[in-house]
Structure 1
Amino acid sequence: MVFRSPFPDVAVPDVTLHDFLFRDRTSTRVALVDGVGGRSLTYAELAEAVERLAFLLVSRGIGRGDVVGILAPNDPYYAVVFHGILRAGATATTINTLYTDADVAFQLRDAGVKLLFSARPVDFPDTIPFSDLPELLMPGAAPEVPVSPDDVAVLPYSSGTTGRAKGVMLTHRNLVANIVQCGPLLKVESDSRILAVLPFFHIYGMQVLMNLGLHMGATVVTLPKFDLAEFLRVIQDHRTDRVYIAPPVAVALAKHPLVDQYDLSAVDTVFSGAAPLDVELAEAVARRLDCHVRQGYGMTEMSPVSHAIPDGRDDIPVGTVGFIAPNMECRFVDPASGADVGVGERGELWCRGPNVMKGYLNDPEATAVTLDSEGWLHTGDVAVIDSAGAVTIVDRVKELIKYKGYQVPPAELEALLLTHPAVVDAAVVGVQVADVGEVPKAFVVRADNSLTEADVIAFVAEHVAPYKKVRQVEFISAIPKSASGKILRKDLRGRDVV
């Protein structure tokens, strides 16, 4: 059974991302501002800087089909470099700033990078330090380059549903499509002020914050990293009304006493993505900040948004990820039988649409596993659609815990644990126990040492079926997460069983 968006299809312009965003941009409105130092670029200044950056690249022999790397935190000049690369006809590969040198080296080799813009020292033969950019951007416009909308624009790296990080080939058409698909869902306006702490190297920050914001003529306020006090100060001082987060930030907004020391009255919408957001946690944020809380879903492989709770729809439960985006189709497929399931039934979410990737770079085998011959992207996430068309992500196929033959969704237990007043953060994984098999183990960050293992086990047991009980608890100082906020379960599974 194929499900479609409740919204009508939108027209996808047959243009490159640069032409879509920058043609006839002469506005003196502020496009980007550094939330820490205050340096800003108007739309006209940004468009000129992009041309100068492209001119610099062309003068260095960079052109269509070449790959250029970006290793830097969020900054107004990140957008200059990113879009200058695309204006020159090249492909941008964005690199996680938390990567080790070995991780960086792997991506540079795998992507075939010819030139790297970096904010830190890197052992690469052709590197331009970010700090040198203002002096290097001399007047000059790049020649027109015959770029096709179907050329690969960006190569972000993702593990997909499994395995090592792979280059995700996203075309100009993919990126443009997803920006216009977001139009009916996310009501970003020209007077919107967007807080951009989620990294631009991640598809969420790249598209939903930077590119969608620029398309709508909004002001994007950048932060290089998450620090709660600085995060709150920037919201207060820059009067940002749209704040995009991952769930760990929601925990701080709901529970941390520091929040009360800042004026956050400008915030209209807090939008969460990258990992499931618990309903009670979302409601706690909404009450404390007197704002709307929304949630969405996507993947790097989908450029990234495939679902979102639309702005203005307070009737849609925040525990869902909202409606299917325009121009998309979805199926829910039983992982065991391969048969489609219907409304109210769990199934792996499959998606198809103009925003779905071209494939993984130099990895046809991984591409074939994730993207089938009919264009369906197999997300690896288990979801349910209700009669109103709202979708809820209930877990991931590969993360389900099998306890004595019963399936235990870690996300369900994590959401429950976060409702305990003494639990700051939590994650649940399956661990092997002799003579029993796999059992659920909770890793808990507690507010103070008064919370015991027995307390946690008893609390969960009061609220779940017997087979879903937490059998082990380990208290840790922080839950390991990726830059986009996803729990790094493999790191937890690697710890010794307590």
Structure 2
Amino acid sequence: MSDISSALTIPALLNDQAALGHHSAIVEGERTISYAELRSLVHEVSRAFLAHGVIHGDRVALWAPNRTEFILAMLGAQAIGASVVPLNTRYTGREAAEILDRSRASALVLADGFLGRSFSGMLTTALDADDAETPDLSNLRVIVNMDEVEAPGCLTWSEFLSAGATVQDETLQAALDAVHPDDVVDILYTSGTTGRPKGVMSAHRQTLGVAHAWVKGAQLSSDDRYAVVNPFFHGFGYKAGMITSLVAGATIYPVDVFEPEALLALIAQARISVLPGVPTIFTSLIDHPRRGDYDLSSLRFAIAGATAAPDSLFHDMVNVLGFRTVAQAYGLTECVVATLSRPGESLAHAAQTTGPAVENTELRIVDEHGADLPVDTDGEILIRGSNVMLGYFEDQAATDAVIDSDGWFHTGDVGRLDEHGCLKITDRIKDMFIVGGFNVYPAEIENVLRRHPAVNESAVVEVTDARLGHVGRAYVALLHDADPRPNSADLEAFCRERLANFKVPRDFIFVDDFPRNATGKIQKAELREAAAG
């Protein structure tokens, strides 16, 4: 029997893979959880959610790094038909509260104190702020800390689980049986070009479909040991990492914080075979002065995705780190995997293209009028298929703006198809850029800067960065009568209070005015040229 599950729901996936028995599902430090144990532990979490009033169709938010309890909390909610809403661990309290409000989450599971930050305290501060736009968290019934540490307003992990003992077996089973492949399994929030968070909805069948595409492209099996460095709160780490591993019966090694030498040691000690990530991860390993002290011969497969890669990276991943296969992929939050390098692809071609469309996915390259373009001609990338999102949560207008009447999702990205049907990304129509693997939307930063009492207008563009790929630069026009007039440090501090650190611009350039077109719109292309110069 194949170890690859064909399940279309999370509870069915857990049932399938429980048959793997003692085979390791998760290894974190000294703790190992088998596939048989995983199902039992997830069901324990499901009972706890039910005991706290979480029902089919509710939203459960997760605010934590990559760790075992994140996996258990996510699967435990999904197994009874709740949708998970992952929160970026770099969010400020205000950013997290806004998504909790917009999703109307009924439960929040967090890791209080991660990297010295009190998530519960940050939420309290955000809610206590004297602000007309204070988020409404009246739907939030329970907050759980993953650790056995007292935190204001939170249950400890053991307190949370103990409540599940009151839930009857028949109640749990009924909840598990009620989950359907078309039920919403996750809502991943993306700020978008307007700066207002939009919740990307996927069904169980879609998130598992993404995993199947990755399993096939990576030729993943139960023999693989998968170090998941990409965050579980991001589609890359969650769907292409955690869920993909479970579908294949592989072993997950969660990595909560990327530290190059610790990762080198993990690869050598655990014989890690699969390690996708953003280019920064691989360049850090390649350049590490103690790389030669570690045995990396187990490395088999990698994808360097989510941001621009140096030209030499793929060559060094094979010839320096020792990967046997290096691939590329293309996707967005709205369709986590659309293309993937072909098995057996040459290194040169894989470095230049993101591969053809995955199974059950179609691609088109069109001009500004929607007409199809020939091979090797740049145009907007359109995607249609079973893995494209259901839509934006409670935002039909935004959904209709990107998915047309024929079901084509308009990505806003520019690319071309070669003679093999492989996609090359060449530009972005959207302003969005990527900082170390995280999407950054200038509109969101500009909205924050607009709230500064001295700022009249701003425009944020990307500039290249050797380590992160890109970082932001803010061009700022102050009010003519601003008193006091802020400097760059003042604006940086203002942004850091309100934005995750990867969104904060690297520098601030003060201008009297901006280059504009005939209608007065800021010409960001000119600012990008100036920044590049």
In structure 2, what is the Cα distance between the partners aligned to 1:430 and 1:86?
39
Aligned counterpart, 1:133 = 157
In structure 1, what is the Cα distance between the partners aligned to 2:509 and 2:314?
30
Aligned counterpart, 2:49 = 57
Aligned counterpart, 1:143 = 173
Aligned counterpart, 2:31 = 39
Quick one: which amino acid aligns to residue 364 of structure 2? R
How far is 1:396 from its partner? 0.7
- CA deviations over 1:391-419 (Å, ceiling 9, x no partner): 11112113499xxxxxxxx99x95xxx8x
Q: 1:217-228 alignment to 2 at 5 Å?
A: 217-228=249-260
In structure 2, what is the Cα distance between the partners aligned to 1:399 and 1:271?
25
Quick one: which amino acid aligns to residue 47 of structure 1? R
Aligned counterpart, 1:326 = 359
Change (3 A) 1:47 1:400: closer
- Give the alignment partner of residue 238 of structure 1, picking from 253, 270, 273: 270
In structure 2, what is the Cα distance between the partners aligned to 1:126 and 1:188?
38
Change (3 A) 1:275 1:400: closer
CA contact (8 A) 2:9 2:180 kept: yes
- CA deviations over 1:116-164 (Å, ceiling 9, x no partner): 1111142466211111335643566423222222111111111346533
- Give the alignment partner of residue 88 of structure 2, picking from 88, 96, 99: 96
Quick one: which amino acid aligns to residue 470 of structure 2? A
Aligned counterpart, 1:299 = 332
How far is 1:353 from its partner? 0.5
**CA RMSD of superposed structures (Å):** 3.1
CA contact (8 A) 1:190 1:218 kept: yes
Alignment partner of 2:109: what SS? strand
In structure 2, what is the Cα distance between the partners aligned to 1:367 and 1:400?
18
Aligned counterpart, 1:352 = 384
In structure 1, what is the Cα distance between the partners aligned to 2:205 and 2:226?
24
Structure 1, unaligned runs of 5 or more: 1-11, 402-409, 435-479, 481-485
How far is 1:96 from its partner? 0.8
Q: Normalized against structure 2, the TM-score is what?
A: 0.72
Quick one: which amino acid aligns to residue 330 of structure 2? Y
CA contact (8 A) 2:365 2:372 kept: yes
- CA deviations over 1:215-273 (Å, ceiling 9, x no partner): 11100101111111212221121110111111221221333324333222211222122
Q: 1:244-323 alignment to 2 at 5 Å?
A: 244-291=276-323, 292-302=325-335, 304-314=336-346, 316-323=349-356
Aligned counterpart, 2:16 = 23
Quick one: which amino acid aligns to residue 331 of structure 1? R
User: Looking at both structures, which has the greater relative contact order when contacts are Cα pairs under 8 Å and sequence separation is at least 6?
Assistant: 1
- CA deviations over 1:44-95 (Å, ceiling 9, x no partner): 1110011111111112221111111111111122111111101122111111
- Give the alignment partner of residue 505 of structure 2, picking from 487, 491, 495: 491
In structure 2, what is the Cα distance between the partners aligned to 1:314 and 1:48?
43
CA contact (8 A) 1:14 1:149 kept: no
- Confirm whether residue 177 of structure 1 aligns to residue 191 of structure 2: no
In structure 2, what is the Cα distance between the partners aligned to 1:79 and 1:431?
37
Alignment partner of 2:312: what SS? helix
Change (3 A) 1:57 1:372: same
Q: Normalized against structure 1, the TM-score is what?
A: 0.77
Alignment partner of 1:245: what SS? coil
Alignment partner of 1:310: what SS? coil
In structure 2, what is the Cα distance between the partners aligned to 1:221 and 1:24?
17
How far is 1:98 from its partner? 0.8
How far is 1:494 from its partner? 5.0
Structure 2, unaligned runs of 5 or more: 113-118, 125-139, 148-155, 434-460, 478-494, 496-500, 512-530
CA contact (8 A) 1:70 1:94 kept: yes
Quick one: which amino acid aligns to residue 358 of structure 1? L
CA contact (8 A) 1:330 1:351 kept: yes
In structure 2, what is the Cα distance between the partners aligned to 1:183 and 1:426?
27
How far is 1:381 from its partner? 1.2
The percentage of aligned residue pairs carrying the same residue is 31
Quick one: which amino acid aligns to residue 317 of structure 1? A
Quick one: which amino acid aligns to residue 108 of structure 1? L
In structure 2, what is the Cα distance between the partners aligned to 1:48 and 1:264?
34
Alignment partner of 2:328: what SS? strand
Aligned counterpart, 1:68 = 60
Alignment partner of 1:395: what SS? strand
CA contact (8 A) 2:14 2:39 kept: no
CA contact (8 A) 2:52 2:142 kept: no
In structure 1, what is the Cα distance between the partners aligned to 2:293 and 2:43?
43
CA contact (8 A) 2:474 2:509 kept: no
Aligned counterpart, 1:468 = none
